[in-house]
A and B are shown apart, each in its own frame.
Chain A
């Protein structure tokens, strides 16, 4: 590898979800192994561990199961992050368990992903878990979805079987909100269409999985239209060289900010101009997502954490009444109608009251249950809340950063739900 090719490498985050025996761990093991990201001592360690467990082959799943209890039970409980890279891109895998009781982990992994890999066993086709994964990918608005139809070697690399699973999935997905779906027939065990093109499936004309991951267009996954800049903290040096310096530190959540641009400050509504953009390496002429910068403005206006810098003619909704789709995380407490919680949104922290539980979504059928008010762990529901202070919000569909919240239980301090603004 040329020593400086890394200066042009892009970062892609993807999440993998599959049911228990569909070969997800084998697929990840394969990606890590073929990209030479498994080290000899790691391999030796899982080889010894596999032997101790009395297994015949080296169990690549042990690479992703980090905790003692996971190894004991042979299941993945928590999200594990894995890393590998090719000369073109660096990849972060959020490897999440597929079982229903771990929906919350799938949601967690999905929240930052550019791509979701849904793995389907060619022999069984679309099952309940496949549907659940697709629904979560849709709810969390993962921009790209890849359906890996796995174990093609066990169905004689049959195009008919592939077509059947393909149509089944497409039929179901038409009811969802997913823009970009790609299907790839693979055998994770034997390596067909993972890194190398399979010679067993001449009928398949698409790309290999790794080619897809290296080339899928992700630079428009951010919102570059609507300027949103939540202020994280104020930088005040208090020294002689920078006497009147007041910089607003933050990470651009949307749009492109340019030096000299007219901006509006929320909640005050005052307008001013950007006088300087300080980047990590010095002054910049513009800033865009996901850059962390410091912005200085011309006028002396009181701005602090929780405020937002936007453009005068393009403001988010400023409101205390918010409609949310939530995924409930807590195992010991149900969601309480009229209950009070703390919520975090961009750099704001406020309290809220749950005004109404509108319906519970059946995650397997998409049916809306208007009667049930019992929202338990892993349930998806639509609710309305009222906050103590106005938030500056966008629909989650429009911006994943200004469109998301987490809900915290005030008695236990636990994060009990994730919410997507409608």
Chain B
């Protein structure tokens, strides 16, 4: 009997199932879009899940004001092409209104400030489910995450008290003011994502491919030079051929020496690498449990 599908089709099928569950079971779901490959994959899967109808979710982007310009350009083009509605939660505005305060010092980043803005937007939009492109292979706290992850009225995650998740039955019950984070691509690995994007021929932001950029070293990580980072005097800027392996804020996204120009070359590169994807994320390096700590407070 030849009735079987390969691992990527099985992951695709699982994710489409989850996306449809969210559309059917929640009143007002939203899809968190960062401009990175995982959220691009999410949009692609959502498109397939509801074809020929339109994607039934609005997109929410928390913009720190420190994004790579390429990210914003890609986002706006995609939203236009698919006819979606985009909500932008602005950290810049939150700083002005006093909702959050800027970090100071050499490693200052707006990464942590995103949480307050995200929770604020979810509250304002009365969203009861926020879809995210987090994966369990990314980080050890995320390895314990559920597909349907409950958040209390403060947006907090309680990792020790999670609801058991069995078969394909997802409990989405919540009280007023609470919400869910839903992670349809939980079971995908970095390699799965690239392999799938390659087969599907999905357009990606130019940042993922090799290009020349002004960079400098900090704590062993290569960062793109930009006006948002305070450099120490000894941090010398030089030109390098690089690409991004993950895309976050310019202040905390390490770039990666690479000549990979196509998705196939990227697949080749990451199947032989000895470093994890988030190895270049300085936001994860603040302590051994920095992801868990941030997630507990409502980070995604």
A-to-B contact residues, CB < 8 Å: 1, 3, 6-11, 39-42, 45, 49, 63-69, 77-83, 85, 89-90, 92, 104-105, 107-108, 111-112, 219-220, 222, 224, 232-233, 235-239, 241-242, 245, 249-251, 256, 278, 280-281, 288, 290-292, 294, 305, 329, 342, 344-345, 347, 400-401, 404-406, 408, 413-415, 418
List the 3 closest pairs (A to B, CB-CB), nearest first: A66-B140, A413-B173, A11-B7
How far is the CB of B165 from the nearest CB of chain A, in Å? 6
Once bound together, how far apart are the Cα atoms of A201 and B166, in whole Å?
Answer: 39
Instruction: Give Cα A39 to B138, complex, Å.
Output: 12
Q: How far is the CA of A405 from the CA of B23 in the complex (A)?
A: 21
Per-position 1/0 for B118-134, Cβ under 8 A of A:
00000000000000000
* Chain A contacts for B276, CB-based, 8 A: 39, 41-42
Asked if A67 meets B159 with Cβ closer than 8 Å, knowing A78-B144, A408-B171, A413-B175, the reply is: yes
In the bound complex, residues from chain B placing their C-beta under 8 Å from that of A278 are 51
B167 within 8 Å of A (CB atoms): yes
Q: A6-B195, A241-B52 are in contact. Are A251 and B143 (CB under 8 A)?
A: no
Q: Using Cβ atoms and an 8 Å threshold, which residues of chain A touch B173?
A: 342, 408, 413
Q: List 14 A-B contacts (CB under 8 A).
A: A7-B199, A10-B4, A78-B162, A81-B186, A83-B189, A108-B165, A233-B20, A237-B54, A242-B52, A256-B3, A280-B49, A288-B3, A292-B13, A414-B163
Q: Is B8 an interface residue (CB 8 A)?
A: yes
Chain A residues near B288 (CB-CB < 8 A):
45, 49
Contact A69 B160 (CB under 8 A): yes
Interface set of B (CB-CB < 8 Å, partner A): 1, 3-14, 16-17, 20-21, 23-24, 48-54, 136-137, 140-144, 159-160, 162-171, 173-175, 186-187, 189, 191-192, 195, 199, 264, 267-268, 271, 273-276, 279, 288-289, 292
Say what secondary structure dominates the interface of chain A: mixed
Please, which residues of chain A bring their CB within 8 A of the CB of B264? Answer: 3
Contacts of B292 in A (CB 8 A): 66-68
Bound Cα distance A247, B160 (Å): 40
Contact A79 B167 (CB under 8 A): no
Using A67-B292, A249-B49, A305-B24 as known contacts, say yes or no to A415 and B6 having CB atoms under 8 A apart. Answer: no
